[in-house]
Structure formats: structure tokens, C-alpha cells
């Protein structure tokens, strides 16, 4: 199996910056996704990294280091609506299995006023 670790819970205040880390050990790595999931809803796509470095998209940025098996999601100028679970998912392409994702258990972020 794959080993994907992320913190279970994090808290932060409105307007602050929070960094959610994800580490992984896998073979056939072909990219890392971050999803946001509000309670009772389906996950929605936030970002995708396949090369080392930082990808920025508005208030959200995602970083990947393939050599270290490490990624983080950075959320700036936090808003109450950012309270959600954030899922790290590793894409594994191996043999005939293309596009399969392995998910971490999710990090529940609570933003306080």
C-alpha cells in the first residue's frame, strides 16, 4: 500500500496563514492533488503538483518536493468558509493502473473568528 500522512486537525484564526503538510511514500508517483471537502459534501479539487516547486492559485498555494516525498498546502488570509477537511492524494501510475489516487485521512481545519 501507500503511506500518506497528514495532521488530523488544525486550527487558525481569521486572516491568518496556515500550512497543512503531507508526506508520502509510494512507487509509481505521478503527481499530488489537494482537495477541499466541506462537511456532508463531495471533495472539490484545489491544486495539482507533479514537478518540484510552488503552484499559486489566489489565496491557496501548494508545494511539492519529490525527493523528500513532501507537500504542503498554504492558505492565506483565512476566512470562516475555509473551515473544511483538506485531503492530500497521491496519483500512482503503475502498469495498467492509470490515474488511481491514494488519499490521506484528511486534515480538519477550523477557522475561528
Partner 1 sequence: DVKVTQSSRYLVKRTGEKVFLECVQDMDHENMFWYRQDPGLGLRLIYFSYDVKMKEKGDIPEGYSVSREKKERFSLILESASTNQTSMYLCASRPRQGRDEQYFGPGTRLTVT
Q: What is the contact surface with partner 1 in residues (CB under 8 A)?
A: 1, 31, 33, 35, 40-45, 48, 50, 87, 89, 96-106
Looking up cell 497543512 gives 20
Closer Cβ to partner 1, 18 or 88, answer by number: 88
Min dist CB 110 to partner 1, Å, is 16
Min dist CB 105 to partner 1, Å, is 4
Neighbours of 52 (CB within 10 A): 11
The C-alpha cell that represents 75 in the structure block: 492558505
Min dist CB 14 to partner 1, Å, is 26
Amino acid at each position: 500500500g501507500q503511506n500518506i500522512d497528514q495532521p488530523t486537525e488544525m486550527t487558525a484564526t481569521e486572516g491568518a496563514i496556515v500550512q497543512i503538510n503531507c508526506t508520502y511514500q509510494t512507487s509509481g508517483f505521478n503527481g499530488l492533488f489537494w482537495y477541499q471537502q466541506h462537511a456532508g459534501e463531495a471533495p472539490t479539487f484545489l491544486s495539482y503538483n507533479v514537478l518540484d516547486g510552488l503552484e499559486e492559485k489566489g489565496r491557496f498555494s501548494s508545494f511539492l518536493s519529490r525527493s523528500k516525498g513532501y507537500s504542503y498546502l498554504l492558505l492565506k488570509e483565512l476566512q470562516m468558509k475555509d473551515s473544511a477537511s483538506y485531503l492530500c492524494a497521491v496519483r500512482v501510475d503503475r502498469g495498467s493502473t492509470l490515474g488511481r489516487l491514494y488519499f490521506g485521512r484528511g486534515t480538519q481545519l477550523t477557522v475561528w473568528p
